[in-house]
Structure 1
């Protein structure tokens, strides 16, 4: 699946070890291990970022719990070279288009600027990555902000249920570690914990500097200037493989805000595929084919909602508020399934509706309601269109570049991805659906379903029995 890079012996910069190039993509590894990647045609704007191989999946030790979330909150604040006000003022003068995001497998520092401001902005990004001023006052302020953020997210089922789903699917390990800092952990975090986290993860071999629309030689020079002296790791990193467990979690009903109706919620998931799995393109096409969304978008002639969850579910069941397929892929595992919501009186039917649609994706070609080549082609076209339109954004193109180099060590061209999608057939989609939903992905996981319910107690019936009766999971 991975593109093979041709390796030349050219050196860029005094300390660069090697440079690799394929098309417009170039990758150089500095002597200390930092990888510098560039791609994208020149334009009026450039995008740049630093990607650190960190995240909640590595928070295996109690003293690490929640620190990825707090590192996100501490970004672009006071550093050893600038006060918080000076940092904010410098960022505003450059347009203010910057961000930091923490995920389960990465910390991402990104920005977009006019071409003439690339060096100034990269200096600010490198400053917050390399030299943050981790004071007790700053940490306490960001912990208070995180506490408010956590409480707000817990009040929004559509945001917190995917988090609960991960925690149930990978119970007690890696991808199941909470992305949000646990509320009870907030009082335990100190500046010393933050510094220990930084010594463990902010190391050159775990760092990628990515640039879109920037000349490669210039990018290497900037990376060498600001990151070339990063010290090597001194602390071991907990790095175990993901272990899918599956599980059932039941949450009390969500109290609706204002005049909004009370709803019941179901997340039904199975172990999905890793980012590097050859079948990932087929699974992504299956997600697009199932599609879905909210009931507001489902009705009305001429809306063009052709996905199966729109036509077979939302257009046929007035009691459902939403129904949508999801697909989360990580370096060594993933989650695939359907999330839905409905009025409480229909909660007992929601899981069966989801299971029925999943089973229909595996029906042999000669069966009624089986996948047709026409709808598979429509889903492939939609997936390719979405991929290419997303890459029109400099920031999305940057994140794609940085994360691909971080995960694969190279970049897969969009043309290659589109070609792999186009070669898929309905038989491929059926085979991969059965692999994920019935047989197990062969990753050593339990094969059991993961279910998250939120609603009135007893209103859903025996959900696990329903899943078993449809022949899904193990």
Structure 2
């Protein structure tokens, strides 16, 4: 993700205000005083009444939330991301956000940087599994200029071979760095194991051997596939709807709509690949310009996969077989490659086990050797009515690191703190996580512990999830902790939305997913109405492997493990069969 942050000093001179003084008795005199009051206080406006959504004739959707403030937010949200990639486009989502705000048809990269500096504010581009986001927060007076720059970098990028090569080299370094940090790579590998070989299991991080297959032609093919008006949402925070509509019509209204049976990727116009696997473009069409009518190297470790489908286990295989089929030695001619994209394909949850090579002991003896483990189950889609109960469960579990400064709002009374981190000295961290997508999701616990206690760590994680399903006993859900979790969830929701950028992303992503905006007030009402029975019912559904999503998942657990070589102790490998038996003993997942 590329982020530019610039600030400008704004000096405002306001009249001095003097405090009232009580005149001492010995100097009292007759004074004429008046009570200063506001004659007409502004009426309280429900922010949801300021939301408006329109669709241009070509399919571009425009969403606004005209809540006033010192800054405005502008975002372009595109239905793209690693979920939709096939073999030909694998890894492009990781690279394309790095090419944002570079040279365009109108100016070079230095001139673009100068334009961003003069604009002020915060500008970034980020890709995820289901969305590509260009966002900008700027002064209210600069909204028009911000939309122009966003349109320029989205619709008219030059994308030179030098720029592509530069970003590929940067990505190669970034890939090596991420693979060396378990806290960064393991969440990615959880998706790979959970959705083996499909949709949400596609790597968000570009496979390293794919870097030699990416060039300007492949980037243009990606853009021609996804940068279509019906896949674009423009969101505005702090801008009136009629003003936003005028800007979007000027800069995005001339993109031609795509017929349902038409899909031109640009790959059809590419020459054969060379021996090294490079694609050489002869001609690639691009969307019409927005301004035509305007005057103004370390190699990552190779883990092994045991993917479970129903009750069967497939043989061990190289991890990269599931990340990419585009190794250079297997490359073929571009026009002979099957190119089909089914944007409606549901994500199919498989579950499974992924074991990475052991980490070496820390070079500094004062640093502890730690084993990292993730346990996950398929959870609910973001559109599910039970998503609020699931979010409350995550808050209730909470968790964190073994050391925390504490304080109000830190979640020190959450279950993973009180039952795990405060009880076992061999636990370094233990945190609940929840990833929600349009048609599926992942819920689980990630933990780090001393290598000799891995079985006990997994057993403890299972115990905490199982306790959420109990209907009676000392470990079942209690009214006081449910109330606390609901309050924390509401507080987190409302405080995060104080940020203009969070408000903007919330608006854009909701319109992308739901086609409408669910107001914070409505969300808070839904959280308020949750009961202990609601949380217990959802916990039984998710942790029992009974979630019914469009992809008809297996219901099996997902486990990702990276152990660490301990200097002092040696023990047997923690095998998948043993892990399955342990999880099943707590009645978790479906076998």
Query: How high is the TM-score relative to the length of structure 2?
Result: 0.74
Structure-2 residue corresponding to 1:463: 579
Structure-2 residue corresponding to 1:171: 196
Structure-1 residue corresponding to 2:263: 235
Q: 2:480 aligns with which of 369, 374, 382?
A: 374
Query: Which stretch shows the higher mean deviation, 292-301 or 436-445?
Result: 292-301
Report if the CA contact (8 A) 1:157-1:254 is conserved: no
Bigger Rg, which one: 2
What does the per-residue CA deviation read over 1:142-170, in whole Å, with 9 as the maximum and x for residues that have no partner?
Answer: 11111111111111111100000000000
How many angstroms does 1:260 deviate by? 3.0
What does the per-residue CA deviation read over 1:279-338, in whole Å, with 9 as the maximum and x for residues that have no partner?
Answer: 110011000000001011287999761100000000001110000000100000000000
Structure-2 residue corresponding to 1:472: 588
Report if the CA contact (8 A) 1:448-1:473 is conserved: yes
Structure 2 distance, partners of 1:454, 1:398, is 37
Instruction: Indicate the RMSD between aligned Cα atoms, in angstroms.
Output: 1.8
Structure-1 residue corresponding to 2:20: none
Structure-2 residue corresponding to 1:326: 433
Report if the CA contact (8 A) 2:48-2:519 is conserved: no
Aligned residues: 452
Q: 1:267 aligns with which of 368, 374, 377?
A: 374
Structure-2 residue corresponding to 1:5: none
How many angstroms does 1:262 deviate by? 1.7
Query: Which stretch shows the higher mean deviation, 256-265 or 84-93?
Result: 256-265
What does the per-residue CA deviation read over 1:347-373, in whole Å, with 9 as the maximum and x for residues that have no partner?
Answer: 221100000000111100x32210011
Structure-2 residue corresponding to 1:55: 81
Structure 2 distance, partners of 1:315, 1:40, is 46
Structure-2 residue corresponding to 1:426: 532
Report if the CA contact (8 A) 2:377-2:444 is conserved: yes
Q: 1:244 aligns with which of 349, 357, 365?
A: 349
Structure 2 distance, partners of 1:423, 1:296, is 34
Structure 1 distance, partners of 2:497, 2:409, is 28
SS of match in other structure, 1:471: coil
Q: 1:396 aligns with which of 502, 509, 521?
A: 502
Report if the CA contact (8 A) 1:325-1:338 is conserved: yes
Report if the CA contact (8 A) 1:298-1:314 is conserved: no
Report if the CA contact (8 A) 1:57-1:175 is conserved: yes
Say whether 1:44 aligns with 2:152. Answer: no
Say whether 1:409 aligns with 2:435. Answer: no
Structure-2 residue corresponding to 1:9: none
Q: 1:288 aligns with which of 389, 395, 399?
A: 395
Structure 1 distance, partners of 2:182, 2:208, is 17
SS of match in other structure, 2:55: strand
Report if the CA contact (8 A) 2:66-2:241 is conserved: no
Structure 2 distance, partners of 1:22, 1:433, is 31
Structure-2 residue corresponding to 1:359: 466
CA 1:335–1:298 in structure 2 vs 1: closer, same or farther (change >3 Å)?
farther
Query: Which stretch shows the higher mean deviation, 48-57 or 134-143?
Result: 134-143
Structure-1 residue corresponding to 2:59: 33
How many angstroms does 1:135 deviate by? 1.7
Structure 1: gaps spanning 5 or more residues: 1-20
CA 1:405–1:178 in structure 2 vs 1: closer, same or farther (change >3 Å)?
same
Structure-1 residue corresponding to 2:556: 448
Structure-1 residue corresponding to 2:6: none
Q: 2:493 aligns with which of 387, 397, 403?
A: 387
CA 1:207–1:46 in structure 2 vs 1: closer, same or farther (change >3 Å)?
same
Structure-1 residue corresponding to 2:452: 345
Greater helix share, structure number: 1
What does the per-residue CA deviation read over 1:391-448, in whole Å, with 9 as the maximum and x for residues that have no partner?
Answer: 0000000000000001111100010000000100111101000000004211210000
Report if the CA contact (8 A) 1:175-1:242 is conserved: yes
Q: 1:148 aligns with which of 160, 164, 173?
A: 173
Structure 2 distance, partners of 1:303, 1:403, is 27
SS of match in other structure, 1:297: coil
Structure-2 residue corresponding to 1:6: none
Structure-2 residue corresponding to 1:103: 128
Structure 1 distance, partners of 2:85, 2:126, is 16
Report if the CA contact (8 A) 1:298-1:305 is conserved: no
How many angstroms does 1:232 deviate by? 2.7
CA 1:89–1:370 in structure 2 vs 1: closer, same or farther (change >3 Å)?
same
Structure 2 distance, partners of 1:436, 1:158, is 24
Structure 2 distance, partners of 1:252, 1:40, is 52
Query: How high is the TM-score relative to the length of structure 1?
Result: 0.92
Structure 2 distance, partners of 1:81, 1:146, is 27
Query: Which stretch shows the higher mean deviation, 198-207 or 459-468?
Result: 459-468
How many angstroms does 1:22 deviate by? 6.0
SS of match in other structure, 1:97: strand
Structure 2 distance, partners of 1:156, 1:257, is 15
Query: Which stretch shows the higher mean deviation, 208-217 or 458-467?
Result: 458-467
